[in-house]
Structure 1
Amino acid sequence: MKRVKRSKKRDERNDDVNDPFIIIPTELKVEILMKLPPRSIARLRFASKHLSSIILGKEFTELYMTRSSTQPRHLVSVHRGSDMQLFHSFSQEEHPSASNDHDKVSYTLDPDVRYVFTPPVRGLICGRNGIKMMIGNPSTGQFVSLPRVKTRKKDILSIFGYDPVNDVYKVLCLTVITRRGNIARGIISRDYFLEDVMAWEAVMSEEHQVITLGAKQKWRMIKCKYPHRHYSGYHGICRDGALYYLTSYKQKRSLMCFDLSSEEFNVTKLPDDYSLQEFGNLVNHSGKITIAVQAYDGPIDLWVQDDVNKEVWSKTASVVPSMNEIFGGDQRFMFRGILPSGEVIFKPLPSPNPFFFICYDPKEKKVRQVEVDGIRDDSAAIQVYFDHVESCMVL
């Protein structure tokens, strides 16, 4: 008996008749969706073919991103034990109200190991544990695994970024290899090496790999003509289609730039300032490439790159007179960055219970404490990001 094939066009017509959203004008559907939080939008793509076509479309995703960019948020990552990872997102406004602040996002990740996350880029965040990596959208609660990094090395720096030229997201991974040949040639004595005091000449970022997010994503080895060593434990940042991170180049702390479009490296010399060379760290500062220098609990100096194409830096006055003068000597604080409003952010060390961070206005000399609801665990590992925007992008 010959099987009768159903008409695909007929099925589509039936779906259109049963779709209650088809009678709503597209402009109104977009307007409604724009008022919803990302998690609700991600769920609604299953409710209707017409809604799905809008939600998954590039035009709507960019429209939502444009709106979100005017409403930056705080993003807090909390790791408890080995089986719980929470993300909290909330408005940067001093007194957020229900009318301008979505419900706080709390998403529970269930990995078998802890992931360390890089700063968010256009609403997405990248996590790594060893050679395992994942990309996530904390606003929708979606997390997907990436192919494992092709290396056997343990010292890895990963930086996440967006290439606006090709409209793609990329991850750069650097791994370190010790040049033991230097030991054999007597450049470094064995005792010197065994004491775990590593000379910069002996340690280099040897493997450079890039992955482009997409359907056929895989790691690709790339070349770098600048022998350098990245600093373990430091984060890189993404600005205007390039990744920046601090490195040791020719025995000097320098700024490395990786262009995401051309996939080429470039190195920038930093001022020959002792404190900058010893304590400098990249920070968020309203889109400017800025290195903050904080020696112990003293004042904080900012070195701002005036021209990304030239080695021109300007040093601003200390953003605070001293940590002890503002907060007293009972609590230690770590400088984390500067908001577009000019407020300076400090994170307490160790993490307090309940958890909070400090916003300091240097012009008004005003201090306000921001407490994060639901974080009351002394054993939790907490990371705070201050340049997060909501994205409805479906992974």
Structure 2
Amino acid sequence: MQRVIKRSTKPDERNVNDPFTNLPPELNVEILMKLPPKSIARLRFASKHLSTIILDKEFTKLYLTRSSAQPRHLISVHRGGSNMQMHRFHSLSQDHPLPSNYEIVSYKLDPNLPYVFTPPVRGLICGRDGTKMMVGNPSTGQFVSLPRIKTRRQEILSVFGYDPVNDLYKVLCMTVVAKRSNMSRVGNVVSWEDIVSEEHQVITLGAKEKWRMVECKYPHRHYLGYQGIYKDGFVYYLASYNKKRSLMSFDLSSEDFNVTKLPEDKMLQQFGELVNHAGKLTIASQAYSSTIDLWVLEDANKEVWSKAAVVVPPVTDIFGTFHSVGLMGILGTGEMVFAPHTSRVLFFFVCYDPKSKNVREIVMNGVVDGSDTIQVFSDHVESCMVL
């Protein structure tokens, strides 16, 4: 028996008495450009006319261009220890970081999945817990799950980035395995030089997203506990190559790997974290003193680096009492962002200007409690992109 499908003759409720249909298109765009991403996301369901504009890639690019001129701090807070796993993102202005100027987006996570997020890219952010991964827009609260990573191993490094040539977002994942063919052992201990990142996988965000293996001509080992960063169509991360610490890069368009030698510096071979320093790729290296060495990559093709030493005040001078703190990034103004690794009821971080020696303290009341996991990101831009 053939099934007859009746189509509703009722008009779309969003078309009934929609005031935006009577306004010129350029005025609708101007109205949307003045709204925060959360409000734009709601209007997409309230007005079919505005939804057409909001879903247009050109409007997304226009909104992102405006937001790029107003970078923000992004605070990621995961609250566990109960049946109600909650994750919140706090976005606040870099120029006016007052409690009244930050937005909060909350959403419920799967139980017992403390996602660790990579630095945001063009308004989007990527989180991973084991082989589970999600990508989302922290400004709108929209998050989507990606397929599980194809591996049984847990030593994974994931880096999130954007391919400007093809206008695509991609995630690169690597897992560590031991090369049994030429392992050198002392007892049952495998030499570090014999451990490499063997599985290299990429996923492209889209309707038919799936993980696929990519080839790497440079046998290397990524460092666990370190983050990669995105810049100008490439993702970068620190790794061991030919028994030396090196800078690895991955072209998100051609999907080719490359390696850049680090300067012959003993401390740099042992310490250092990648940061974005006023648009330049920088390794911030700090050993046991109050001096932080900033190694700036001036020319990747010629492997030219410059070095600047910055003396920072003792932790007790900045935070009042002893805390375990870390350098979270360097703003376009040159200010260095420091934040404690552990949560507290009164959460705050500081921006230190090495030129003027000024310290700005950003306090966020009621943001965390003693069980929360916190990540601080700088130079976040708000996006209204719909996933």
**Alignment-mate amino acid for residue 148 of structure 1:** R
Shift of 1:378: 1.5
CA distance in 2, matches of 1:235, 1:355: 23
Q: Following superposition of structure 1 onto structure 2, how do residues 295-310 of structure 1 map, counting pairs within 5 Å?
A: 295-310=287-302
Matched residue, 1:85: 87
Tell me the distance in 2 between the aligned counterparts of 1:125 and 1:134.
8
Matches within 5 A, 1:1-395: 16=15, 18-82=17-81, 83-94=85-96, 101=101, 103-112=102-111, 113-183=113-183, 187-191=184-188, 193=189, 198-320=190-312, 323=315, 330-395=322-387
Q: Deviations over 1:278-331 (max 9, x none)?
A: 002111212211001100343101000111222111111225366566567733
Distance in 1 (CA, whole Å) between partners of 2:26 and 2:165 is 29
- C-alpha contact 2:326 2:341 (8 A) present in aligned 1: yes
* Contact 2:200-2:215 at 8 Å conserved across structures: yes
1:353 Cα offset (Å) = 3.1
Give the distance between the partners of 1:11 and 1:243, measured in 2 at CA.
50
Which residues of structure 2 form unaligned runs of 5+?
none
**Deviates further, 225-234 or 378-387:** 378-387
8 A Cα contact 1:87 1:108, kept in partner = no
Which stretch of the first structure deviates more once superposed, 227-236 or 378-387? Answer: 378-387
**1:349 CA drift (Å):** 4.2
What is the rounded CA distance, in whole Å, between the counterparts of 1:159 and 1:323 in structure 2? Answer: 30
Residues matched between the structures, number: 382
Question: What secondary structure, in the 3-state scheme, does the structure 1 residue paired with 2:89 have?
Answer: strand
**Structure 1, gaps ≥5 residues long:** none
Q: Contact 2:15/2:47 (CA < 8 Å) preserved in 1?
A: no
Q: Identify, as 1 or 2, the structure richer in helix.
A: 1
Amino acid at match of 1:354: L
**Would you say the 8 A contact 2:280–2:297 is kept in 1?**
yes
1:60 counterpart letter in structure 2: F
Provide the TM-score with structure 2 as the length reference. 0.92
Q: Does structure 2 conserve the Cα–Cα contact (< 8 Å) formed by 1:299 and 1:323?
A: no
- Report if the CA contact (8 A) 1:182-1:188 is conserved: no
**What is the identity, as a one-letter code, of the residue corresponding to 1:342?**
G
> What are the Cα deviations for residues 120-143 of structure 1, in whole angstroms up to 9, with x where unaligned?
000100011111110010100001
Q: Tell me the percent identity.
A: 63
Indicate if the aligned counterparts of 2:277 and 2:329 stay in contact, CA closer than 8 A. Answer: yes
> Which residue identity is paired with 2:90?
H
Give, in angstroms, the shift of residue 182 of structure 1.
3.8
- Give the SS at the match of 1:254: strand
Deviates more, 1:65-74 or 1:315-324: 315-324
Question: Once the two structures are superposed, what CA deviation does each residue of 1:229-252 show, in whole Å capped at 9, x if it has no partner?
Answer: 000011100000000000000110
CA distance in 2, matches of 1:225, 1:316: 33
Deviations 1:161-195 (A, max 9, x none): 00111000000000111224445xxx21234x1xx
Q: Which amino acid aligns with 2:23?
A: I
2: CA distance between counterparts of 1:367 and 1:247?
A: 33
Q: Could you tell me how far apart the structure 1 residues matched to 2:307 and 2:38 are?
A: 42
For 2:92, give the aligned amino acid: F
Paired residue secondary structure (2:176): strand
Distance in 2, matches of 1:349 and 1:129, equals 19
Partner Cα separation in structure 2 for residue 342 and residue 239 of structure 1: 18
Cα distance, 1:19 vs. partner?
3.0
Q: 1:36 to 1:325 in 2, by over 3 A?
A: closer
Residue 7 to residue 358, structure 1, CA distance change in 2 (3 Å): closer
The 1:94/1:50 distance shift into structure 2, 3 A limit, reads: closer
Q: Which moved more, 1:294-303 or 1:219-228?
A: 294-303
* Counterpart-to-counterpart distance in 2, 1:124 and 1:4: 43
Q: Distance in 2 between matches of 1:30 and 1:229?
A: 48
Query: Residues 290 and 4 of structure 1: is their aligned pair in 2 closer, same or farther, counting only changes over 3 Å?
Result: closer
User: Counterpart of 2:267 in 1: which secondary structure?
Assistant: helix
- Contact 1:172–1:210 under 8 Å retained in 2: yes
The answer (yes or no) to whether the contact 1:135–1:145 under 8 Å persists in 2 is yes
Asked whether the equivalents of residues 14 and 47 of structure 2 are also in contact (C-alpha less than 8 Å), the reply is no
Cα distance in structure 2, aligned partners of 1:228 and 1:127: 24
- 2:99–2:364 contact (8 Å) kept in structure 1: no
- Please identify, of 317-326 and 283-292, the stretch whose mean Cα deviation from structure 2 is larger: 317-326
Deviation at 1:7, TM superposition (A): 9.6
